[in-house]
Amino acid sequence: MSRFHCTSVLWLSAALLATAAHAAPGDAPVARGLIVTLKAPADGSRETPQAARERLKTVATDAGLPGAQAPMPVGSRAHLLHFAQPLTGAALQAAERRVRLNPLVASVEPDVRLKRQAEPNDPYYANGTQWHLRRPADGGAGALNLPPAWDRSTGSPSQVVAVVDTGTVPGHPDLQGKLLPGYDLISDLDTSNDGDGRDADASDPGDWISDTEANSARYPGCPAEDSSWHGTFIAGQIAALTNNGVGVAGVSWGAKILPVRVSGKCGAWLSDVVDGIRWAAGLPVSGVPTNPNPAKVINVSFGGSTACTPAYQYAIDDAGAVGSLVVVAAGNENGPLTRPADCAGVLAVGAVRQDGLKTYYSNYGRNVGIMAPGGPGGRDVGPRLYSTANTGTRGPAEHSYDSKDGTSFASPLAAGVASLMLSVNPALTPSELVSRIQAGARAFPSSPGYPTCNVSAPTNSACNCTRETCGPGLLDAEGALQLAYSPAVVIAPVGTVAPGSSLTLDGRGSAAVGGASITAYQWSQVSGPPATLGATNGPTLAVTLPAGARDDWVFRLLVTDSAGRSADNYVTVTTRSGGGDWHDDDDGGGSTGLLWGLGLWALALGAWARRRRAGAA
């Protein structure tokens, strides 16, 4: 049995760092003119206002801008040159480029309309109870920085997030219209607590254990406890109705939740969780109708005491192969990751407190995918996480809101951010989602009053994270959304081939976002004995491997879109005696190869430096 975690291979190109400067065409800014600063006169003399106006008139004329409206002073040095009508997109970029090329101009930028950052009016967000969704300056060092991300996207109804959990309580006012038809995949009647086996009713009847049931033959090792409403809480975290003046805010306002019930009294059976992951991804499950609403993001907040096993790994591999990212809780044992968090291809999420320090309970290690708010835990103090709940101690009663702690509730926050990313770039693969989340992460804070986390010498208190002990950094929604706008580079999987084979690598599945298009492809060989390559500047690449060689070959595809944004991906081709199936190391979200790692840290350092500069400005 598995119980919840609760307490109460991609290397992106350096050009990806430029994405912060490019808005998606659908969100393109509208400008009424250009703010222009002129170079000082060549002779060093002090220029009169009239002379400056004449030079600005020359700049406007040369750039094809109207001269009827006099330049308006902006600050102490710049002037606004008005357009005849507001410009956006390519027209704005062209006008800005023409002015910038003028030798009289020192700098130019569009005079764009600035909007207030998207902030929901839900009471528990507005009063600070949902501190973890706010900017770090407002909510604490561990907060998700969602307001600027919400300016980019608040999510899309086309994005489905599966909650593989206890099911959900229907009728909650903050989940109205948010729940898709799910499925109950609990195969054991004692666990299901609803009197039947697998069926199309994913509602949660409660998972309480009574005093007489505790530690009984039916529920060995399970203490008495009230119903958890675990899945309902997670559903609200991800996609509660937001900006409706009621209750709580969700991370991805527009997303839909697919409840997949696999857990009941005393937890969940591994076989049911495996089938739940498969069903959520749209894969076949014996005796069950196919899921008509496959989820691109699947949240699994369960743990185990062993390393990843084949049953879990196969389910995660199969989900990744059809484009579904499995996001999992790191675990609450204050130790190294265990299944499913240590499985390849998942995004394992550990928990930090409000101040950004690792909680005393969160599992940790170099293979943690990202750290996110999880609440302090029962032995510590500080604000917890708040979401949708129910007052029933056994069966459902009144709809309510409640607070909880645990990596179970850090994981859904990352799942929600992944859903936001897919709302702006639906072509992103699981590995691309993970690499962008990690590249956009914030650096860990450090508090002198606490020890540095050490996996080999655990401490029973909060501790200061490092990359070696907690992974790439703190989940930052804005950083992740910035990087989501770059093209998705998709290379078709390749099977194990014979030495000397001729094959075609296929990158035609790559896609740009927001109305942009792929304008350039560039293939290259990264490692392995020299292979014969065909034309390297198209979406496909003809490759002939050397005869007699048994080795691994790594090939890179770099694509650039019409907005100037670039990204890359890698594919490995293997020749081995004995055949067998080959799996692309980039499938899923947990790739940690050398190339991927080097690129990730380059991106992360660049993004961190940009934020430091912005914060100091």
- DSSP codes of every residue in 458-501: --SS-BB--HHHH-S-B--HHHHHHHHTSPB--------B-TT-
Q: What is the DSSP letter of 173?
A: T
Mean pLDDT, rounded, for 523-544:
96
What is the spatial distance between Cα 125 and Cα 27, in angstroms, rounded to a whole number?
A: 25
| pLDDT over threshold 60, residue 584 | no
Digit-coded pLDDT (tens) for 31-56 = 889 999 999 888 878 888 898 889 99
Q: What is the pLDDT of residue 577?
A: 52
Least confident piece of the model among 10-19, 95-104, 328-337: 10-19
Q: Which residues of 355-381 are buried (b: 16+ CB within 10 A; e: fewer)?
A: ebbbbbbbbbbebbbbbbbbbbbeebe
> What band does 494 get if pLDDT is binned at 50, 70 and 90?
confident
Sign of CA dihedral 319, 322, 324, 325: positive
Q: What is the pLDDT of residue 304?
A: 83
> What band does 551 get if pLDDT is binned at 50, 70 and 90?
confident
Q: What is the pLDDT of residue 88?
A: 87
How far, rounded to the nearest angstrom, does the alpha carbon of residue 455 sit from its chain's CA centroid? 26
φ and ψ at residue 268, rounded to 5 degrees = -140, 150
> What band does 58 get if pLDDT is binned at 50, 70 and 90?
very high
| pLDDT over threshold 90, residue 361 | yes
Do 328 and 347 contact (CB within 8 A), yes or no?
yes
In the 3-class helix/strand/coil scheme, how is 253-273 assigned residue by residue?
CCCEEEEEECEECCEECHHHH
| pLDDT over threshold 60, residue 206 | yes
Digit-coded pLDDT (tens) for 94-127 = 999 999 999 999 999 888 876 555 789 999 999 9
What is the spatial distance between Cα 122 and Cα 416, in angstroms, rounded to a whole number?
A: 17
Q: Strands (DSSP E) along 89-202, which ranges?
A: 105-112, 160-165, 183-184
Nearest-10 Cα torsion for 449, 364, 594, 437: -90
CA nearest to 586, candidates 349, 424, 441, 428: 428
Q: How many CB atoms lie within 10 A of CB 581?
A: 7
Q: How many CB atoms lie within 10 A of CB 538?
A: 14
Do 555 and 532 contact (CB within 8 A), yes or no?
no
Task: Give the chain's mean pLDDT.
Answer: 87
Strand partners for 87: 31
Catalytic residue among 2, 387, 408, 591: 408
| pLDDT over threshold 60, residue 246 | yes
Catalytic residue among 111, 165, 184, 586: 165
Q: What is the DSSP letter of 121?
A: -
What is the spatial distance between Cα 30 and Cα 273, in angstroms, rounded to a whole number?
A: 48
What is the spatial distance between Cα 450 and Cα 16, in angstroms, rounded to a whole number?
A: 36
CA nearest to 262, candidates 312, 318, 217: 312
Mean pLDDT, rounded, for 408-431:
96
- Better pLDDT: 615 or 271: 271
The third-level CATH classification (topology) of the domain covering 156-427 is Rossmann fold (3.40.50)
Strand partners for 568: 558
What is the spatial distance between Cα 425 and Cα 410, in angstroms, rounded to a whole number?
A: 23
| pLDDT over threshold 70, residue 333 | yes
The 8 Å CB, 24+ separation contacts for 147-151 are 147/117, 147/118, 147/119, 148/117, 148/477, 148/478, 149/417, 149/420, 149/477, 149/478, 149/480, 149/481, 150/117, 150/118, 150/119, 150/120, 150/253, 151/115, 151/117, 151/118
The strand pair at 370-373 and 346-352 is best described as parallel
Whether the ω angle into residue 396 lies within 30 degrees of 0, i.e. cis, is no
In the chain, domain spans: 30-112, 156-427, 502-616
- Better pLDDT: 44 or 10: 44
CA nearest to 282, candidates 273, 290, 271: 290
The third-level CATH classification (topology) of the domain covering 30-112 is Alpha-Beta Plaits (3.30.70)
The fourth-level CATH superfamily of domain 502-616 is Immunoglobulins (2.60.40.10)
Percentage, residues of the chain above pLDDT 70:
88
Catalytic residue among 79, 132, 230, 399: 230
Q: What is the pLDDT of residue 599?
A: 40
Q: What is the pLDDT of residue 228?
A: 97
Mean pLDDT, rounded, for 185-203:
95
Q: Does residue 79 have an active-site annotation?
A: no
Q: What is the pLDDT of residue 30?
A: 82
Q: What is the pLDDT of residue 580?
A: 36
Q: Does residue 506 have an active-site annotation?
A: no
Q: Does residue 408 have an active-site annotation?
A: yes
How far, rounded to the nearest angstrom, does the alpha carbon of residue 203 sit from its chain's CA centroid? 27
Q: What is the pLDDT of residue 9?
A: 28
Helix then strand then coil, % of the chain, to nearest 5: 25, 25, 50
Digit-coded pLDDT (tens) for 250-270 = 999 999 999 999 999 999 999
Digit-coded pLDDT (tens) for 430-462 = 999 999 999 999 999 999 999 999 999 999 999
> What band does 367 get if pLDDT is binned at 50, 70 and 90?
very high
Do 133 and 144 contact (CB within 8 A), yes or no?
yes
In the chain, count H helices and then E strands. Answer: 14, 21
- Better pLDDT: 13 or 490: 490
Q: What is the pLDDT of residue 116?
A: 56
- DSSP codes of every residue in 501-562: -EEEEE-TT-B-STT--EEEEEEEEEESS--EE--SSSSEEEEEPPTT---EEEEEEEEEET
Q: Which one-letter amino acid corresponds to residue 41?
A: P
What is the spatial distance between Cα 313 and Cα 588, in angstroms, rounded to a whole number?
A: 11
Do 238 and 114 contact (CB within 8 A), yes or no?
no
Mean pLDDT, rounded, for 411-423:
98
Q: What is the pLDDT of residue 447?
A: 95
Contacts of 1 (CB under 8 A, 6+ apart): 221, 266, 267, 268, 269, 270
Strand partners for 348: 328
What is the spatial distance between Cα 149 and Cα 151, in angstroms, rounded to a whole number?
A: 5
| pLDDT over threshold 50, residue 470 | yes
How far, rounded to the nearest angstrom, does the alpha carbon of residue 466 sit from its chain's CA centroid? 21
Q: Which two tokens stand for residue 165?
A: 């959990």
Digit-coded pLDDT (tens) for 63-92 = 988 866 888 888 878 899 999 888 988 889
- Predicted TM-score (pTM) of the model is 0.75
Do 330 and 364 contact (CB within 8 A), yes or no?
yes
Mean pLDDT, rounded, for 286-294:
97
Task: Considering only CA atoms, give the Rg of the chain.
Answer: 27
